[in-house]
Amino acid sequence: MDTRHIRHFMALVECGSFARASEVVHLSQPALSRSIQELERQLGARLFDRGRFGVVLTAHGRAALPHVRGLLAAAESLRQEVEAIDELETGELNIGTGPYPALALMDKVCARFVDQYPGIRLNIRTDNWQDLRLALLDHEIELFVADTGELSGDPDLEITHLPQPEVVVFCRHDHPLAQATGVVWGDLLDYPIAMTRVPEDMERNIQAMSAQQGGLKRRIECDNIAMLAAIVTGSKAISIAPRPIVADLLDSGKVTTVSVSGIETLRTRYGVLQRCGRPLSPAAAKFHSMVLEFAKLK
């Protein structure tokens, strides 16, 4: 049912004549008459009777009137809600982030977003890149920021690559390796290595570098960065992370970086990922733009 016919019906009710109603809706009287006839055809009943002093509602017309008012109110409410979403005054946005970007980038982006658009409900999922990909394709989130190493050839994804931060090895300030020089990867294997789940290519590099010492045997894997930091500061474990992640810890003096030669292959490749060929909602598009702004790509 065309809302134009419904609006014409309401105008005729309020004006009481085709002449006055046609002026209100900016139609000729014959065009308005055809619109009313089409509505009557769709409903299968006559809605108006012509009288000496104009038009009056039939019994069917009187029965239709409250429903017409409700439909017009609902249409106006829908228009206002769509407009509010376009203006980022209301709505909901579901996004995802890997553990490292959550602390190195997304925390700042999310803070700015909720400050500028308080009417948007922001739901943030922190997870590994495999599960975030599934959530994206299942329409549970609109975009996510994570390592793209294993996703660059995925036909279902559109990727905007971000600048890549330096990856550092770090340990407790009083760790035996804290002041050591000439450290190589094999020296790290004397201690537990705590890290998040890493992409397969980085995992292969780690295993290859560890092979001469019999492999990486003392490993702690956890996707919670705060817990990894607590493990490192409370034990002799060593960790590997992008420098921005541990910047505050380094500034506090609780941890220090270890200069390790031969680890250039351990690098991150972060990006913003969304479904290929699917436009983002207004809120998601604005969030995407903010990510690029904070990553200095805009």
Give the number of other CB atoms < 10 A from CB of residue 273.
24
Say which DSSP state 102 is in. Answer: I
Q: What is the dihedral of CA 117, 123, 126, 127, to 10 degrees?
A: -130
DSSP H helix total and E strand total for the chain: 12, 14
Q: Is the CA virtual torsion 24, 28, 33, 38 positive or negative?
A: negative
The packing angle between helices 107-116 and 282-294, to 10°, is 130
Say which DSSP state 64 is in. Answer: H
Q: Which domains does the chain have, with CATH numbers?
A: 3-86 (1.10.10.10), 91-164+269-294 (3.40.190.10), 167-261 (3.40.190.10)
CA distance 237 to 223: 16
Q: Tens place of pLDDT for every residue, the chain, 298 residues?
A: 788 999 999 999 999 999 999 999 999 999 999 999 999 999 999 999 987 778 999 999 999 999 999 998 888 778 877 877 777 888 899 999 998 888 888 999 999 999 999 999 999 999 988 999 999 999 999 999 998 988 888 999 999 999 888 888 999 999 999 988 888 888 888 899 998 877 677 778 888 888 877 777 778 888 888 898 999 999 999 998 888 888 888 899 999 999 888 776 677 788 999 999 999 999 999 999 999 999 886 5
pTM score, two decimals? 0.63
